[in-house]
Structure 1
Amino acid sequence: MKYYDQHLHTFLSFDSKEIFENYLLNKPPYFVATDHLDLRNPGDNFQDDIPDYDKLAQKLSELEANYPTTFLKGVEIGVVPGQEEQINAYLNDHPYDLKLLSIHQNGKFDYMDDVVLSKDKYKVAKMYFDQMAQVLDTFSGAQILTHFEYGLRRLDFTAEDLEEHFEKELTTILKKVIQKEMALEINAKSFGYYQNANLYRYIIPLYKSLGGTFFTLGSDAHQASDYEALFPEMSGLLKEFGVNFLVTFQKNDRFLTELP
């Protein structure tokens, strides 16, 4: 099986207008859109952003009749502690083949909002990593932990900062990821646009040293032109640390594929 992008957004996300057909110009053997599920989303006036599952199912049914691609249902779940019961109630009635776990916001602000610039960066990072650790304890069923450094994107952090100030918290997080047999995502927007490749250069060997073996690449594309963005560069970084395989998820199945 050839590896395929496992982090994509379409018009079913509040922050994308992209249509499925534009992604399919890449002729992927498998295709999965992972649109946002974020309750009381500060990035959208505190609305509940829940992808329209019926519209997704209808769209995939239409596409299956016209494309040789195998289509999967995916979702990116942003979790704030206290929301788990409501999220699980939705997921129980709406089965997905792939579930990404993300920490985007804390119920008051998104970690990408300007408000973080007025706060102590170490306190923001501690809040973010503590929330991630708590969610990994209280929420189950996701297969991939996305963009581990999302909460640091607006702040100035180096790999040395993480090692000195947050290695304990990150070790706790990564042990939980490993225990749950989840994968760690290398995120193209983080790697390229937000110039955080150095933070991945730090986290990859730490994850491996704890016994972590599952990695994914995700473009986090919100437009089709970013499909599989920076995959060669991110693959090259993984190879530097002796990683030669990626993992794909399809419901309860897990497949290892060679790095592209």
Structure 2
Amino acid sequence: MFYDQHMHSYISIDSEADPFQYIKNGPKYVVFTDHLELQSPGEPKVDITPAFDLLLDLKDELKERGTELLLGVEVGYARGIEGALDHIFSKYPFKVKIMSAHHNGDYGFMSRVNIPRDEMINSYVDTLLEAVTEWNDFHILAHFDFGFRIHDFEVSEIGPYEERLNKVFETIIEKDIAFEINSKSIFVHGNKELYKWGIERYVALGG
């Protein structure tokens, strides 16, 4: 069964969506994984924390319409934030935790910074591998292609990153973390071929 667990609502920095738009077809459950980003690049570094309580306030109204709200979260990897995450995780009943790598502490991987393409991609793959190695309490790895999105990149160029991406896949398989097929990556960012490669490799490694 395919179903979407990577959805954002108006409490997420990257969305203005009304939660009630998602239940027009009467789903039994709906889960929002709004975007939590601690220590985002900047001077000083910025913590972006969704107002999860606002979403939970809608739980009863959603239930009256026949849909149960399940709370989720998408967390951007950063070093040294485990204590803060543990505190947030203890406060809210998260049913789905998505792990992602959006930045390296100095710049975001979707930023149009004056850094060579290969250097940016190399940093992204290193950060992604570090994230899956260091973090355990997660259910899904989001958009493995994130650091490739803004670049003109062909699958035939995957060689310098292949060994580390293999290790990413092996690690999430070992930790029973799901591999996300991200529709925005495929249809908006044009990374269908990269996903074909990634899915085939993930399956070949035992996923």
TM-score by length of 2: 0.93
Question: How many pairs are equivalent?
Answer: 206
> Counterpart of 1:5?
4
Q: Deviations over 1:97-145 (max 9, x none)?
A: 0011111112221111111xx2222221111111111111221211010
Alignment CA distance shift 1:178-1:20 (3 Å): same
> Counterpart of 2:193?
198
Amino acid corresponding to residue 48 of structure 2 in structure 1: D
Cα distance in 1, alignment partners of residues 188 and 2 from structure 2: 23
2:121 aligned residue (102, 122, 125):
125
Cα distance in 2, alignment partners of residues 67 and 52 from structure 1: 23
Question: Structure 2 regions of 5+ residues with no counterpart?
Answer: none
Cα distance in 2, alignment partners of residues 134 and 88 from structure 1: 19
Amino acid corresponding to residue 13 of structure 1 in structure 2: S
Deviation at 1:27, TM superposition (A): 2.2
What secondary structure is seen at the aligned counterpart in 1 of 2:14? Answer: coil
Of all paired residues, the percent bearing the same amino acid is: 34
Q: Which runs of 4+ in 1 moved over 6 A?
A: none
Cα distance in 1, alignment partners of residues 41 and 59 from structure 2: 29
Deviation at 1:42, TM superposition (A): 4.2
Q: Which has the higher strand share?
A: 1
Cα distance in 2, alignment partners of residues 23 and 139 from structure 1: 30
Cα distance in 2, alignment partners of residues 26 and 165 from structure 1: 45
Cα distance in 2, alignment partners of residues 81 and 122 from structure 1: 23
Cα distance in 2, alignment partners of residues 136 and 105 from structure 1: 14
2:62·2:68 contact (CA, 8 Å) conserved in 1? no
Root-mean-square deviation over aligned CA pairs: 1.7
Q: Deviations over 1:42-84 (max 9, x none)?
A: 49x95311122222221122211x2212321111111112222
Q: Deviations over 1:155-203 (max 9, x none)?
A: 11111111x2111010110011001101101101100110000100111
Cα distance in 2, alignment partners of residues 30 and 4 from structure 1: 11
> Counterpart of 1:151?
147
1:4·1:30 contact (CA, 8 Å) conserved in 2? no
Question: Structure 1 regions of 5+ residues with no counterpart?
Answer: 213-260
User: Which aligned pairs between 1:77-156 and structure 2 lie closer than 5 A?
Assistant: 77-115=75-113, 118-156=114-152
User: Which aligned pairs between 1:24-39 and structure 2 lie closer than 5 A?
Assistant: 24-39=23-38
TM-score by length of 1: 0.75
Alignment CA distance shift 1:7-1:71 (3 Å): same
1:60 to 2:59 alignment: yes
Alignment CA distance shift 1:89-1:22 (3 Å): same
